[in-house]
Amino acid sequence: MTVRACFRSGRRGLATLVAMLPLLSSGMIASDTRAASLVGVVPVGTTLSGRVDPALSADGSTVTGQLYSTAGGTGSFEAFLWTRHDGFRTFSELGPDAPDEALFEPRALSSDAGRIVGSLDGAPAVWEQGVGTSLLPGLPAGTEGARAYGISDDGRYVVGSAHDGGSWTSVSQGLNGEISVVEVPRFVPVSWDLEQGTLQALSNERGIALDVSDDRVVVGQLAPEIPGLTGLVAGFRWDDVHGSQYVPSASSTFAFGWALDAAAISADGTTIVGSTPADLLGPFARHAYAWSGSPGSEEILSSEGLRVIDAPAGAPSTLQMLATGVSTYGRTIVGQYRVNARPVYTPFIWTEARGLEDLEVLLRSLGVSMDEWSLSEVLDVSADGRTILGTGRGPGSALTQIWVAVIPEPSTALLLGAGLACLATRRTRRC
pLDDT for the residue numbered 427? 42
The helix/strand/coil state of 250 is strand
Q: Which of 273, 67, 323, 401 is nearest to 390 (CA)?
A: 401
Domain ranges of the chain: 1-31+412-431, 247-408
5-9, 195-199, 409-413: which has the minimum mean pLDDT? 5-9
Q: Which residues contact 28 (CB under 8 A, 6 or more apart)?
A: 1
pLDDT for 414: 43
d(CA 130, CA 135) in angstroms, rounded, equals 16
> What residues does 287 pair with on adjacent strands?
276
CA neighbours within 13 Å on the CB side: how many for 20?
21
| CA contacts within 13 A on the Cβ side of 108 | 29
290-330 pLDDT, tens digit each: 999 999 999 999 999 999 998 888 888 888 999 999 999 99
Q: Which one is predicted more confidently, 79 or 341?
A: 79
For strands 374-381 and 387-393, give the pairing.
antiparallel
CB of 282 within 8 A of CB of 272? no
C-alpha to C-alpha distance for 88 and 401, rounded to whole angstroms? 13
Q: What would the CATH number be for the domain defined by 247-408?
A: 2.40.128
Measured N-to-C along each axis, helices 10-26 and 412-425 cross at an angle, to the nearest 10 degrees, of 170
Strand partners, 237: 219, 245
- Tens digit of each residue's pLDDT (9 = 90 or more) over 125-137: 999 999 999 999 9
Helix, strand, or coil here: 419?
Answer: helix
The DSSP output letter for 223 is -
Q: Which contiguous run of DSSP H or E holds residue 121?
A: none
DSSP H helix total and E strand total for the chain: 3, 29
